Amino acid sequence: MSRIAILGAGAWGTALTISLARRGGHELVLWSHSEALAETMTETGRNVTYLPHAMVPADVQITADLPGAIFEADILLCVPPSQHMRGIVSHIAPLLTRNQVLISASKGIEDGSFLRMSQVMASVTNNPIGVLSGPSFAQEVATGQPTAIVAAASDGVLAQLIQHEFASPSLRVYTNDDVAGVELGGALKNVIALAAGVVVGLELGSNSAAALITRGIAEITRLSVACGGRRQTLAGLSGVGDLVLTCTGGLSRNRTVGVELGKGRKLNAILGELNGKVAEGIRSTTAALGLAARYGVDMPITEQVDAILNRDKDPKDAIRELMTRPGKDE
């Protein structure tokens, strides 16, 4: 029986823990950075803050002790908000033994460095690293609704190991060796989902939503390919799959933030209502534009999302500008 430590007890870390427990065959430990949350979860079996409607099975160990959580774990599944990934992995790096596998299930790009999560991990440890991504709302995974995701690693054997450890009748796992494409698909779709929400908030209709998703995948693909990803990956689960889910699904936090922006509300007021829940697209927008500038890639939708988020641009003006750009080939 292998031991898996899940590092991050937000909605996604908790849902993956429940999914792994349902699959069986592992000893599971779930680490929360908050002692209070770890205590409440241990007492009640519920993550009242981030995933209140699902029960965490009693045989899952819940702790706020990070070194204790990773001790003798075969797999460390890292699921913090992206901007905390470096801090957590740096903290555990000196404690790791050589064969412990690290997996990122977070979807974002690091501020400033513009690194993907697996690159952040690789900058502080030489341990084997993989990625889990794809269209997967935590709430649906926790309740066991059929979901398909991607296990990515440049080493095919590692990707297969992750596939084997996570797959269950309710969670189908495909492998992919294109780590850059898989991670950028997951991070950049959050930016486009903010824009998709704006379209809903402005009540612009279905034509606009379809155009945004399609032109969104075009710009996600351009940047991902420039960064070394494969075009084909962006047509898969971690690209168009996750983009469609996040742009159309009512459970998306990124889309929800966009809807409120489209209704004319201010970002700070919207963030206050998220109660610490993360909408990764907000931070990833700036990082995506940094990457785009580095590779000389045109990202018109991302630029307008950035202007709405960071320069208080009126969403109606952003849409007008997108629509009146000089004509171009598809």
- Contact residues toward ligand NAD (CB under 6 A) are 8-13, 32-34, 50, 79-82, 84, 105-108, 136-138, 276-278, 280
Q: Between 275 and 304, how does the x/- string for binding to ligand G3P read (CB under 6 A)?
A: -----x------------------------
242 is in an annotated binding site: yes
Taking CB under 6 A as the binding criterion, the range among 41-49, 231-239, 246-254, 300-308 that sits at the site for ligand G3P is: 246-254
82 is in an annotated binding site: no
12 is in an annotated binding site: yes
Q: Is 112 left (phi over 0), alpha (psi -120 to 50) or beta?
A: left
306 makes contact with ligand G3P (CB under 6 A)? no
328 is in an annotated binding site: no
189 assigned to active site: yes
Q: Can you tell me the distance from the alpha carbon of 81 to that of 254, in angstroms, rounded to the nearest whole number?
A: 13
Strand partners, 29: 5, 61
Going by their DSSP bridges, the two strands 61-63 and 51-55 should be labelled as unpaired
130 is in an annotated binding site: no
Going by their DSSP bridges, the two strands 129-133 and 147-152 should be labelled as antiparallel
Q: Can you tell me the distance from the alpha carbon of 64 to that of 83, in angstroms, rounded to the nearest whole number?
A: 19
DSSP 77-97: EE-S-GGGHHHHHHHHGGG--
Q: Can you tell me the distance from the alpha carbon of 109 to that of 119, in angstroms, rounded to the nearest whole number?
A: 10
In this structure, which amino acid lies at residue 223?
A: L
260 makes contact with ligand G3P (CB under 6 A)? no
| Active-site position among 189, 313, 316, 328 | 189
Closest alpha carbon to 257 in 244, 245, 269: 269
Tell me which of ligand G3P, ligand NAD, none is bound by residue 178, counting a contact when its beta carbon lies within the kind-specific cut-off of 5 to 8 angstroms.
none
Tell me which of ligand G3P, ligand NAD, none is bound by residue 242, counting a contact when its beta carbon lies within the kind-specific cut-off of 5 to 8 angstroms.
ligand G3P
- Which residues ranging from 90 to 119 are in contact with ligand G3P (CB under 6 A)? 107
**Shortest separation between residue 279's beta carbon and ligand G3P, angstroms:** 6
**Shortest separation between residue 47's beta carbon and ligand NAD, angstroms:** 8
**Shortest separation between residue 58's beta carbon and ligand G3P, angstroms:** 27
Q: Between 119 and 148, how does the x/- string for binding to ligand G3P read (CB under 6 A)?
A: ----------------xxx-----------
195 is in an annotated binding site: no
82 makes contact with ligand G3P (CB under 6 A)? no
Q: Can you tell me the distance from the alpha carbon of 232 to that of 31, in angstroms, rounded to the nearest whole number?
A: 35
| Residue-level length of the chain | 330
Extended beta strands in the chain, E state: 2-7, 26-31, 46-47, 51-55, 61-63, 75-78, 101-104, 129-133, 147-152, 171-176
246 makes contact with ligand G3P (CB under 6 A)? yes
Residues that bind ligand G3P (CB under 6 A): 107, 135-137, 190, 193, 242, 245-246, 252-255, 280
Catalytic residues: 189
Q: Which residues sit in the known binding site for NAD(+)?
A: 8-13, 138, 253, 277
